[in-house]
Amino acid sequence: MRIEIKGTELVVTPALKEYIEKKFQPISRFLKRYEQVVEHVLFVEIARTTKHHHKGPIFYGEVTLSILKKVLRAEVTAYDVRLAIDQLKDMLKEEIVRYKEKTHTHKRR
């Protein structure tokens, strides 16, 4: 699985890039069944919603992953950029598990 990172209104430092890769790399074990067909690309966008606000959820995160013909997405806003990344990982994991359950039970019927 290849991870592409984009920062909007935010500089993606090497430490932040390493943190994102460390958090999202274990997701690839859920996709082993689909890896045989095509390599997956995970698009991660981290943004700062405003430059003049200093309080509230000012960091925005978005993840997009396409599995075969299905696109899985997760969006979150948070107070801290690392918190947003953690929440994105959890949401994406739930989406993948839900997708796998649908396809697995659908084939059995």
Say yes or no to pLDDT of 106 above 80: no
The parent domain of residue 62 ranges over 2-108
Residue 99's contacts (CB-CB under 8 Å, 6 or more residues apart) are 67, 70, 72
Q: Judge contact between 84 and 46, C-beta under 8 A.
A: yes
Global pTM reads: 0.82
| Domain total in the chain | 1
Q: What is the pLDDT of residues 39-60, one digit of tens each?
A: 788 999 999 887 777 777 789 9
Chain centroid to Cα 58, Å, comes to 18
- What's 8's domain CATH number? 3.30.160.100
